[in-house]
Amino acid sequence: MTEPIIEITNVHKRFGHVEALKGVDLTVMEGEVIVIIGPSGSGKSTLLRCINRLEEYEKGSIVVDGIPLDTNQNINAVRREVGMVFQSFNLFAHLTVMQNLMLAQTTVRKRSKEEAEKNAKELLEKVGIPEKAQSYPSQLSGGQQQRVAIARALAMNPRVMLFDEPTSALDPEMIKEVLDVMAALAKEGMTMLVVSHEMGFARAAAHRVIFMDEGQIVEEAPPDVFFVNPTQERTRLFLSKILHL
Amino acid sequence: MKRLLWLLLATVLVAGLLLPGCSGDSGKIRVATDATWPPFEYVDTTTGEIVGFDVDLFNAIAEEAGLEVEWINVEWDPLLAGVAQGTYDAAISSITIKEERKADMDFSDPYYIAGQIIVAKTDSAITGADDLVGKSVGVQSGTTGDDEVSAMNGVNVTGYDEIGMAFVALMNNQVDAVVCDTPVASGYVKKYDTLKTVGEVLTTEEYGIAMPKGSDELMGKINQALAEVKSKGIIDQLVEKWLVD
Amino acid sequence: MEQQEKNAPDRELSFVTGGEVNIRQDPWWWLVIAVIAIIVLLVMVAPVPFKEIVVFARSGILVTVLVTVSSYFLMLILGLFGGLGRLSKNKLIFGISSLYVEIVRGIPLLVQLIAWYFASPVAIQKIGVWLNFAPLIEYRANPILTAIIAITVCYGAYMSEIVRSGIQSIPKGQMEAARSLGMSHFQAMRYVVLPQAFRVILPPMGNEFIALLKDSSLVSVVAVADITRKGREFMSAHFNPIETWLMVALLYLVLTLFAARIVSYIEKRSRHDR
């Protein structure tokens, strides 16, 4: 954990009349794993999507790996370094798993077919489903699809991985297989920002837990502090609602 | 996918090759006719050539006037519109010289006197024009037959795009009679013994060669040649050949 | 396992998906064969007039196919650009494509054909006069070319809407995933969105081909000697409307049924969840 890799300064975003982000400041260090929690509408997904410019913001600045998110060129450059995993997987339905993993490698990173294939195979091993290389997404279970999605994002060798509620659309018995992959990734030192409700993961793998509410960061602390002794009343309230065991 | 693209390219190339050049041929005059009106103009289905009284007549006129003819076979409505617009240099197609038509086109001297006649089923009680009152009569829309019948009081006119359809309607008893030019009428009556012509020729009308307005030079040539052809007795020969059986 | 699946297809579904090309498994091919058999029967049993009609209409069949296929592929291209234009954020491009679609869809094809055939030479000649450019002044409409252009422009408008709605039917997440991987908008469209949209618009594309094939009979009105015009010429020379139109209808039927089989075969082949 050395250099700051993401610097978010005073970001404001509105959707029509609704202000989704009201001045968010956040610095993410390289290798940090941050889990963001909060009620729906708190702006946590929006914040994540601002980092790779899937959402535009009106005020403030975001700098990723030294590149500001201003021009189209810079945005594309940032997107190469930032991988994203979506709640609904968003695998390319008309391509096989293998092709899914190889497409961006060949078209964006301009790798040769052989190199891309080799990388893809390794990543499939890593996420635990090498036998599904020639299958189509529709032939996979939800957990398998999400693991492929993670592999697809990793195939680009990003500096940062964003996870937008990666397990929220999964059946309970498939959540663990995906969290295991994420935990292994965290152990390897990947910089990760995860929006999730999986507190177990947060406790086990996060360096920092952030609570967002109504477009602002309310509290942030390492998990052992955050879950045991939150300082803000709103945090306490939220935690009491979701930690029902 | 690639194969489809090649097919596309091939088709466009073939189309380009097959399409004849579209520059105007100087020297040749473009003469239009709707070759679906035997025995004046129709297609000899064994040779594919346009033949008929009008065709022979105009070829004779052209020879007399030293003109080269390019024949164009086109439907009735676009034919008239084409003459009015100047797309064709002349048209010979059993076109009756009518005052209203003179507003859009010029006519040569008349070359033939035709008449309209009623055709009915052999068991029909219709004996003449008076019997048509209260009955339905089929005609080809836009022809003088149409005009004639429409002018009769108390007669229901049914217009068809082509006279063949009117005759089918007659044979199916959908109309009580058909009114059209005598040569065409006799053609159908000869073919189908359930049909007969009824009464006398209703009207007389004159056929002329139509030309765009202002075609004074061509008009002069054609009228002069027509007069020559008449005096040489060619028209009588053609009548013998095409109209008498 | 897979072998068994192939030999015993789900009969119900094969009607919907078009089934295998194999006649054993796709009953609709029987219809094509049946119609061809009827034609052959008529030609053999009553060569006058049926064989004569078929022989006479031969060139017309070629013209009909040429006009249909050429217009079809050209209008696909026009439709692609029109559809993309309708989705463009650029106000000018969006405006032009929308205007094009609205106007062309509001005028019957027959009227457009006639307009092109009669108006375009006048327009071109006037431009020729204005530019004092001899070849343009002498320009005469080539009927087949004009007809193909007219049909292309007309059907292109409908195709634009089909393309637009096809692209819009692809979930936004697909584009987002592609962009988040660093692909440009163009790359995302080319590799992710358009291929999927293509499968969505394949059925309506097939429909448009068959509709176009039948609408091609309108070119007979603007001096193109297609099957319909040939039929009309034959019928009037021989005074036999019923037989002639019967054979013409059968000829069109063979063409459309055959085209429909090809369309469903392509649809079947492009399904990727087998």
Chain B CB contacts of C74 below 8 Å: 12
The answer to whether the Cβ–Cβ distance between C236 and B19 falls below 8 Å is: no
Contact C173 A90 (CB under 8 A): yes
Q: Which of B12-26, B173-187, C101-115 has the lowest mean pLDDT?
A: B12-26
Say if the Cβ atoms of C195 and A152 lie within 8 Å. no
Tally Cβ neighbours within 10 Å of residue C44.
10
Helices (H), ranges, chain B? 2-18, 53-65, 76-85, 99-102, 144-151, 163-171, 182-191, 216-231, 234-238
**Alpha carbons C138 and C121: distance in angstroms, whole number:** 9
Contacts of C173 in chain A (CB under 8 A): 86, 88, 90
Q: Does pLDDT of A151 surpass 80?
A: yes
Task: Report phi then psi at B77, rounded to 5.
Answer: -65, -50
The pLDDT of residue C3 is above 50 = no
pLDDT score of C2: 42
Residues B182-203, mean pLDDT to the nearest whole number = 85
**pLDDT above 90: residue A150:** yes
C 152-211 residues with CB below 8 A of B?
none
Do A76 and C199 lie within an 8 Å CB cutoff?
no
In a mutagenesis test of the A interface, which of C180, C183, C272 is the best target, namely the one with the most A β-carbons within 10 Å? C180
Q: With 0-12 CB in 10 A as exposed, 13-18 as middle and 19+ as buried, what is A110?
A: exposed
pLDDT at C171: 95
Closest by Cβ to C232, choosing from B19, B162, B192 = B162
- Tell which wins on pLDDT, B161 or B196: B196
Instruction: Please tell me the distance from the alpha carbon of residue A203 to that of residue A229, in angstroms, as a whole number.
Output: 13
pLDDT band of residue B161 (cuts 50, 70, 90) is confident
Cα separation of A202 and A194, whole Å?
9
Residue B15, pLDDT above cutoff 70:
no
- Across the interface, whether the CB atoms of A104 and C192 are under 8 A apart is answered no
Q: Which of B218, B227, B230 is nearest to B67 (CA)?
A: B218
Interface of C with A in 136-195 (CB under 8 A): 171, 173-174, 176-184, 187, 191-192, 195
Per cent of chain A over pLDDT 90 is 70
Whether pTM > 0.95 for this model: the answer is no
User: Between chains, do B164 and C122 touch, taking CB under 8 Å as contact?
Assistant: no
Helices (H), ranges, B19-162: 53-65, 76-85, 99-102, 144-151
Cβ pair A196, A167 in contact under 8 A = yes
User: CB contact, 8 Å: A106 with chain C?
Assistant: no
Cβ pair C141:B87 closer than 8 A: yes
Q: What is the total count of domains within chain C?
A: 1
pLDDT at residue B157 is higher than 80: yes
- The CA distance from B208 to the nearest CA of chain C, in Å, is 22
- What does the pLDDT look like over A198-226, one tens digit per residue? 888 999 999 999 999 999 999 999 998 88
CB-CB contact of A209 with A218 (8 Å): no
In chain C, which residues have their Cβ closer than 8 Å to the Cβ of A136?
Answer: 272-273
| pLDDT grade for B20, boundaries at 50, 70 and 90 | very low
Which of chain A's residues have a Cβ under 8 Å away from the Cβ of C176?
54, 86, 90
Residue C40 has pLDDT above 50, yes or no: yes
Residue written as tokens 């967002």?
Answer: A212
Contact yes or no for B164 and C235 at CB 8 A: yes
Q: Which residues of C are less than 8 Å from A94 in CB distance?
A: 195-196, 199, 272
Contact (CB<8Å) A92/C177? yes
Percent of chain B at pLDDT > 90 equals 39
* C235 with B38: Cβ contact below 8 A: no
Average pLDDT (C117-135) is 79
Query: Is residue C6 included in any domain, yes or no?
Result: no
Mean pLDDT within B196-216: 89
The A67-68 sheet, strands edge to edge: A18-29, A4-15, A59-64, A67-68
Residues of chain B with CATH 3.40.190.10: 20-113+207-242, 116-203
C66, C73, C233: residue with CB nearest B8: C73
Residue A31 has pLDDT above 70, yes or no: yes
Pairing of strands A208-213, A216-221: antiparallel
CA distances from B96 to A11, A93, A112, B91, B178 (A): 83, 67, 77, 12, 18
The answer to whether residue C83 sits within a structural domain is yes
Question: Cα(C86)–Cα(C96) distance, rounded to whole angstroms?
Answer: 9
Residue A67 confidence (pLDDT) above 70? yes
Task: Note whether C180 contacts A79, CB cutoff 8 Å.
Answer: yes
Structural domain for C251, as ranges: 33-273
Decide if A152 touches C, using CB distance below 8 A. yes
* pLDDT for res B2: 60
Give the nearest partner residue to C142 out of B22, B45, B87, using CB atoms: B22
Three-class secondary structure assignment of chain A: CCCEEEEEEEEEEEECCEEEEEEEEEEEECCCEEEEECCCCCCHHHHHHHHCCCCCCCEEEEEECCEECCCHHHHHHHHHHEEEECCCCCCCCCCCHHHHHHHHHHHCCCCCHHHHHHHHHHHHHHHCCHHHCCCCHHHCCHHHHHHHHHHHHHCCCCCEEEEECCCCCCCHHHHHHHHHHHHHHHHCCCEEEEECCCHHHHHHHCCEEEEEECCEEEEEECHHHHHHCCCCHHHHHHHHHHCCC
Q: Write the class of the CATH domain B116-203.
A: alpha beta
How far apart are the CA of A109 and the nearest CA of chain C, in angstroms? 9
pLDDT band at A187 (very low <50, low <70, confident <90, very high): very high
End-to-end Cα distance, chain C: 13
Interchain CB contact of A154 with C (< 8 Å): no
pLDDT at C86: 94
Q: Is the pLDDT of residue C140 over 90?
A: no
What is the 3 state secondary structure string of chain C?
CHHHHHHCCCHHHHHHHCCCCCCCCCCHHHHHHHHHHHHHHHHHHCHHHHHHHHHHHHHHHHHHHHHHHHHHHHHHHHHHHHHHHHCCCCHHHHHHHHHHHHHHHCCCHHHHHHHHHHHHHHHHHHHHHHHCCHHHHCCCCCHHHHHHHHHHHHHHHHHHHHHHHHHHCCCHHHHHHHHHCCCCHHHHHHHHHHHHHHHHHHHHHHHHHHHHHHHHHHHHHHCCCCHHHHHHHHHHHHCCHHHHHHHHHHHHHHHHHHHHHHHHHHHHHCCCCC
C-alpha dihedral sign at A112, A113, A119, A123: positive
Q: How far apart are CA C57 and CA C41, in angstroms?
A: 17
Q: What's the confidence (pLDDT) of residue B148? A: 86
Cβ separation of C192 and A92 shorter than 8 Å?
yes
d(CA A133, CA A226): 41
Say if residues B181 and B145 touch (Cβ distance below 8 Å): yes
pLDDT bin (cut points 50, 70, 90) of residue B1 is low
Min Cα separation C187/chain A (Å): 8
What is the pLDDT averaged over residues B87-91?
91
Average pLDDT over residues C187-201: 93
Inspect the interface and report whether the beta carbons of C73 and B11 lie closer than 8 Å: yes
Residue A140 Cα, gap to closest chain C Cα (Å): 11
Mean pLDDT of B82-97: 90
pLDDT value of position A105: 93
pLDDT score, position B152: 87
Mean pLDDT of C137-165: 89
| Cβ–Cβ gap A156/C177 under 8 Å | no
Tokens 């075969």 correspond to: C265
Average pLDDT over residues A145-158: 95
- A and C: number of Cβ contacts within 8 A: 66
Q: What is the CATH number of the domain that holds C154?
A: 1.10.3720.10
Residue C196 lies in a domain: yes
pLDDT higher than 90, residue A227 = no
Which residues does chain C have within 8 Å of residue B165's beta carbon, measured at their own beta carbons?
241
- Tell me if chain C has a CB within 8 Å of the CB of A160: no
pLDDT at site C10: 40
Q: A172-187 vs A113-127: helix axis angle to the nearest 10?
A: 120
pLDDT at position C5 is 40
Q: What does the pLDDT read at residue A148?
A: 96
Report in angstroms the alpha-carbon separations of C85 from A169, C82, C91, C99, C164: 35, 5, 10, 11, 9
Lowest average pLDDT, out of A66-80, B15-29, B182-196, C76-90, goes to B15-29
Q: C2 or A153, which is more confident? A: A153
Q: What is the pLDDT of residue A114?
A: 93
List, for residues C60-83, the tens digit of each pLDDT value. 999 999 999 999 999 999 999 999
Task: Give the residue from chain C lying closest to A79, CA to CA.
Answer: C182
Both tokens assigned to B113: 């006197």
Q: Do A107 and C174 touch (CB under 8 A)?
A: no
Residues in B closer than 8 angstroms to C73, CB to CB, are 7-8, 11-12
Residue C240 pLDDT more than 50? Answer: yes
Decide if C59 touches A, using CB distance below 8 A.
no
Report the range of poorest mean pLDDT among A20-24, B197-201, C90-94, C109-113.
B197-201
C14 band by pLDDT with thresholds 50, 70 and 90: very low
Q: How far apart are CA B24 and CA B89, in angstroms?
A: 12
How large is the greatest C-alpha to C-alpha distance in chain C, in angstroms?
Answer: 74
User: What band does C9 get if pLDDT is binned at 50, 70 and 90?
Assistant: very low
Which residue of chain A is at minimal alpha-carbon distance from C180? A79
DSSP letters, B166-214, are HHHHHHTTSSSEEEEEHHHHHHHHHH-TTEEEEEEEEEEEEE--EEETT
Q: Locate the chain C residue with the closest alpha carbon to A73.
A: C184
Residue C18's pLDDT is what?
43
The arithmetic mean of pLDDT across residues A59-78, rounded, is 89
Q: B20-113+207-242: which CATH number, 3.30.43.10, 1.10.510.10, 3.40.190.10, 3.10.180.10?
A: 3.40.190.10
> In the predicted model, what is the mean pLDDT of chain B?
86
Q: Rounded CA gap, C151 and C19, in Å?
A: 32
| pLDDT (0 to 100) of residue C214 | 92
